[in-house]
Amino acid sequence: MNETISIIGAGSWGTALAILLAKKGHRVYLWHRDMQIIEDFKKFNQNIKYLPNIEFPENIVPTNNLSCVSKSNIVVLAIASQAIREICKKIKSYINETHIIINVAKGIEYGTLNRMSEVINQELPNNEVMILSGPSHAEEVARDIPTTVVIAGKNRIKTEKIQDLFMSPLFRVYTNPDIVGVELGGALKNIIALGAGISDGLGYGDNTKAALMSRGIVEISRLGQAMGANISTFAGLSGIGDLIVTCTSNHSRNRRAGILLGKGKQVGEVLEEIGMVVEGIRTTYAAYKLSIKHNVEMPITEELYNVLYNNADVKQSVNNLMLRNKTHEMEEIVLGTYDGW
């Protein structure tokens, strides 16, 4: 059965998901706030800025009017994480309790330290909220390169409905009831990707990056457990899977930002050169504050926080990590269970 879907946010990921869903026969409203960009979509039948040379299927309807939400029963939030609360306030008058809200933004709210589902639930308390995450570069999804992701939701039947909505021969979707873990895995891996980029920018090698990734997933798991996530989630697509792709791919804007930082550029220069939101910068701040709140040791995050917010020298930060007190590698991984789902 074909659905009508509104995708709020027409960056690379929102556009890629619109193309994916439209190819499956669904009618997709693709919203962007700028009318000129919408006119360009209609004129060129593609997103020239973010996904050039990929034509829109005919059942994508570009719009700058948020009332499109009232014409759909599923809403995908594909905007920067720090804009989620504002957009939820704006669409509230157009939705009812039957709408399913799917968030694909990967971040933590800067001021409140809330996860994205918490933000959405605060603004839209009567709606089912789900999280789509995993190793999924928009550039590859839009070009039909096989990709696998995870959808997290509280209600199994509704979650499996959304699984079917997105599932295709080239886009495999798993389900997971652990919203906390899926969100945190998707958000926190951007911090480690910044570190991996810095390592590349400094000219370090594969050994260094492997260490960052290995110890990075430990930090992510520690904080996740402290915040109520199931540790086994971090061994899956939204944990180690997303971490691998974001730390190693040239598509990753967080890794690219890290490379520029490693080469000595300041944060402002980096953001200007990237030209898109770099979620890991704000997420580093939030994760550092959360580590203090939950009394969780996160040395990589702490050093990146000092680089980004205290102007610490990147080489000195690497030295600080290498010269920490010696310890055992005794990280115990316990497979979790999901009762009542």
* pLDDT tens-digit series, residues 303-319: 999 999 999 888 888 77
Predicted pLDDT at 340: 62
- pLDDT exceeds 80 at position 263: yes
Q: How confident is the model at residue 30 (pLDDT cuts 50, 70, 90)?
A: very high
Task: State pLDDT tens for residues 238-251.
Answer: 999 999 999 999 89
Q: Does residue 335 have a pLDDT over 50?
A: no
d(CA 179, CA 70): 26
Candidates 147, 148, 151; CA nearest to 176 is 151
Residues paired with residue 28 on neighbouring β-strands, in sequence order: 5, 60
Which residues face 175 on adjacent strands?
A: 151
Q: Collapse the DSSP code of 85 into the 3-class scheme (helix H, G, I; strand E, B; otherwise coil) and give the result.
A: helix
Q: What is the pLDDT of residue 332?
A: 45
Burial 31-49 (b: 16+ CB within 10 A, else e): bbeeeebbebbeeeebbee
The topology under which CATH files domain 4-179 is Rossmann fold (3.40.50)
Residue 258, judged by CB atoms within 10 A of its CB (0-12, 13-18, 19+), counts as buried
pLDDT over 60 (residue 331)? no
Q: Is the pLDDT of residue 207 over 50?
A: yes
Rounded (10°) CA dihedral 26, 32, 33, 38 = -100
Residue 338 scores a pLDDT above 60: no
Query: Does residue 149 sit in helix, strand or coil?
Result: strand
Whether 323 shows a pLDDT value over 70: the answer reads: no
Are the beta carbons of 30 and 50 closer than 8 angstroms?
A: no
Give the pTM. Answer: 0.92
**Ranges of each domain in the chain:** 4-179, 180-322
Q: Give the span between the Cα atoms of 79 and 11, in whole angstroms.
A: 8
Confidence check: pLDDT of 329 > 80: no
Highest-pLDDT range among 52-61, 312-321, 329-338: 52-61
- Which of 334 and 312 is assigned the larger pLDDT? 312
- Fold type of domain 180-322: N-(1-d-carboxylethyl)-l-norvaline Dehydrogenase; domain 2 (1.10.1040)
**Taking residues 114-141, what's their average pLDDT?**
97
Judge whether 158 counts as a catalytic residue.
no
Mean pLDDT of the chain: 93
For residues 147-157, give the mean pLDDT: 98
Question: Which of these is catalytic: 189, 263, 293, 315?
Answer: 189
- Mean of the pLDDT values across residues 89-111? 96
Confidence of residue 341 (pLDDT cuts 50, 70, 90): low
Question: What percent of the chain stands above pLDDT 70?
Answer: 96
Please say if the pLDDT value at position 115 is more than 60: yes
What is the model's pLDDT at position 322? Answer: 78
Is the confidence at residue 326, as pLDDT, over 90? Answer: no
- List b or e across 95-131, with b for residues whose CB sees 16 or more CB atoms inside 10 angstroms: beeebbbbbbbbbbbeeeebbbbbbbbebbeebbbbb
Burial class from Cβ neighbours inside 10 Å (0-12, 13-18, 19+) for residue 253 reads buried
